[in-house]
Chain A
Amino acid sequence: MGSATRVATAVHVADQAGWEGLIRALQRTHAVWGPVQEGERVILKEITEPAALRVDVPPTLLPTKKVYRAPRETLFQFSRKQARAAPDSGQREAAAKPLALVGIHPCDLKAIQLLDRVFTGFFVDDRYSARRAQTFIIVSNCTTPFRSCFCTSFDSGPFARNGFDLAVTRLGDRYLLQAGSPAGQTFLAVLDFPAASSSDLAELVTAEAGARQQITRRIDTDGLTRLLNMNVDHPVWDEVADRCLCCGACTAVCPTCYCFSVRDRLNLDLETGERQMDWTSCLIMEFSQVALGHNPRHHRVARVKQRLYHKFSYFNDQYGEFGCVGCGRCVETCVADLDPVEILARLR
């Protein structure tokens, strides 16, 4: 896992062959996951061929959270008659190769750091922390941001500051590499890439400034939580609720949404079965329903507000940071063209 503070290290340069060699070297010890283009879709998946990994593509359809918690997972098997030992998830994790995330965007890295607060903070989720602790992260700095991005609003991009083992910035046919942790430093030293020239370094600085300039969409975070709390009855919420289909797609693709539900699936013998966990969403009716059928968020406007208030108010109250990293996935995903940047601007 990347350390919290960046280790000042030299920048090294690899060409395409060197970069692919790096991935191959990593594959010896790790299961390497990264963005792959499949037709029009960009999917985060395990890489077999290093050339398939793309560092210049839009955000993956589902974000990195899916490697820590699959959309559906079996937690354990049970028997109704006698307590039966579940397959130990800790043992399973230990048997599997540790994970390497390669080519993830800085916003997604920030999202992982936010999910760490949720799953390894006050409550510790063993499965999450087991997978997370061993992860080697190569973040890919964005030199050409995409149309919905607004990471600069939350300082989560376009270049990563900390939390990675290596950072890669692609400049034409060169891959500029910089370690961000002792593990990254060791790994890079073994590969022995040449040091970057002073013109490479100058280009790196220009690339970051250029990327920042391209991101014009912005959420004004100044006093945002207070502003939201003072505007719970603002007319914009009804307008959003008129358009929102409460389909939940925006929460499925959001890298910081973490809600799940748990269910038991019984086998036909009616004795044995398994307990499963599914991702869910506060936008669906069932989410807030309690025993005997009461639902405090029966009205659409309440569900719509829950999503945006959680991101921009409650998350901040709980963790001192906003629960959005500005990746733009929800904007790209929403069929009704709802966009938090536009919605929150209406409150100003």
Chain B
Amino acid sequence: MGTNGKPHLAVYKLSSCAGCQLQILNLEDVLLDIAGAVEIAYFPMASRRMDPGPYDIGFVEGAVTEPAEIEKVKTARQQCRVLVALGSCAAFGGLPSMKNRFPQHEVERRVYQRPDWIHSVAARPVSEYVKVDAILRGCPIDTSEFLELVKAVLIGIRPRLASHSLCLECRLQENGCLFDRTGCMGPVTAAGCGALCPGLGRACEGCRGPAEGANLAGFARLLEAKGYSRRDVIDRFQKYAGAEPSMAVAATALAWEEAHA
């Protein structure tokens, strides 16, 4: 708690596009209410003010892809009573984790002229290095889920965040189903985004990571039966949440099976 009795909030950034932090700033309408409820003590992207820790609640955005970030995330853990992985990069490795399937030296050579300047490791979720208390899914996060989580922490209860399949949310909005045309990832992806993409006629790409208990093996068989290649299926599984354990196992099993067929 700060001197004024308000809980202190911190936002850290690792390897990411800053889109999730931007979502917090997009909460213009209620930002003042949030500022009334918490002290924004450390949020470099939003303010020059940087109060030292400890903090009551910390959000970490981004995947861990550098040795320096490993240190940073361990410090964040020490500083924060409640630590939240903010967005799919922090929660699952996110888009940066697409590189993990290639050897590190190959990735570095493809992107940089001087790989010897680069100190990068495989992209991992925050939970690889420290215990996280909650995750906020999405690329980017959903603002109402962010608020739900902040409010739950403030009154000390467990937040209610959706972890079931997106299809349930999508069907309740009476969207036309895109699966047959697009191989939509909705059936195995966690809801909570309000079925944003299918509602706009775009297939779900799985940015919120796998739904709780998702039948990934069954979904892979279904996609293949509908004519998608093994490579296509693995690409879909490794796009946003390839470093999430159940996705990693499913994708690895598919690749192994292919290699040993």
Which positions in A face B, CB cutoff 8 Å? Answer: 39-41, 43, 61-62, 71-72, 242-249, 251-253, 263, 265-266, 268-270, 279-281, 284-286, 298, 300, 333, 335-336
Distance in angstroms between the alpha carbons of A333 and B154 in the assembled complex: 40
Question: Does B147 belong to the interface (CB within 8 Å)?
Answer: yes
Complex contact A284–B165 (CB within 8 A): yes
Complex contact B176–A39 (CB within 8 A): yes
Q: A40-B176, A268-B37 are in contact. Are A244 and B171 (CB under 8 A)?
A: no
Residue of A nearest to B30 (CB): A268
Distance in angstroms between the alpha carbons of A266 and B159 in the assembled complex: 11
Which positions in B face A, CB cutoff 8 Å? Answer: 30, 33-34, 36-37, 147-148, 151, 154-155, 160, 163-168, 170-174, 176-177, 179-180, 186-188, 211-215, 217-219, 221-222
Instruction: Enumerate chain B residues within 8 angstroms of A284, measured Cβ to Cβ.
Output: 164-165, 168, 211-212
Complex contact A266–B155 (CB within 8 A): yes
Complex contact A249–B218 (CB within 8 A): no
Instruction: Enumerate chain B residues within 8 angstroms of A41, measured Cβ to Cβ.
Output: 174, 176
Complex contact A336–B165 (CB within 8 A): no
Complex contact B222–A300 (CB within 8 A): no
Distance in angstroms between the alpha carbons of A270 and B156 in the assembled complex: 11
Q: A252-B168, A268-B34, A285-B164 are in contact. Are A245 and B214 (CB under 8 A)?
A: yes
Complex contact B151–A335 (CB within 8 A): no
Q: A270-B155, A335-B179 are in contact. Are A252 and B215 (CB under 8 A)?
A: no
Known: A62-B171, A252-B171. 11 other contacts (CB 8 A): A246-B165, A247-B168, A247-B188, A268-B33, A280-B168, A284-B164, A285-B164, A333-B171, A335-B167, A335-B180, A336-B187
User: Nearest chain B CB to A239's CB is how many angstroms away?
Assistant: 11
Instruction: Enumerate chain B residues within 8 angstroms of A247, measured Cβ to Cβ.
Output: 165-168, 186-188, 211
Complex contact B165–A252 (CB within 8 A): no
Complex contact A249–B168 (CB within 8 A): yes
Q: Which of A265, A298, A336 has the most CB of B within 10 A?
A: A336
Instruction: Enumerate chain A residues within 8 angstroms of B165, measured Cβ to Cβ.
Output: 245-249, 284
Complex contact A253–B219 (CB within 8 A): no
Complex contact A249–B171 (CB within 8 A): yes
Complex contact B174–A43 (CB within 8 A): yes
Complex contact A244–B215 (CB within 8 A): yes
Residue of A nearest to B155 (CB): A270
Complex contact A335–B222 (CB within 8 A): yes
User: Nearest chain A CB to B164's CB is how many angstroms away?
Assistant: 4
Distance in angstroms between the alpha carbons of A169 and B160 in the assembled complex: 47
Residue of A nearest to B34 (CB): A268
Q: Which of A41, A244, A247 has the most CB of B within 10 A?
A: A247
Complex contact B219–A279 (CB within 8 A): no
Partner of A286, one of B164, B166, B167, B214: B164
Instruction: Enumerate chain A residues within 8 angstroms of B164, measured Cβ to Cβ.
Output: 248, 281, 284-286
User: Nearest chain A CB to B189's CB is how many angstroms away?
Assistant: 9
Instruction: Enumerate chain A residues within 8 angstroms of B171, measured Cβ to Cβ.
Output: 61-62, 248-249, 252-253, 333
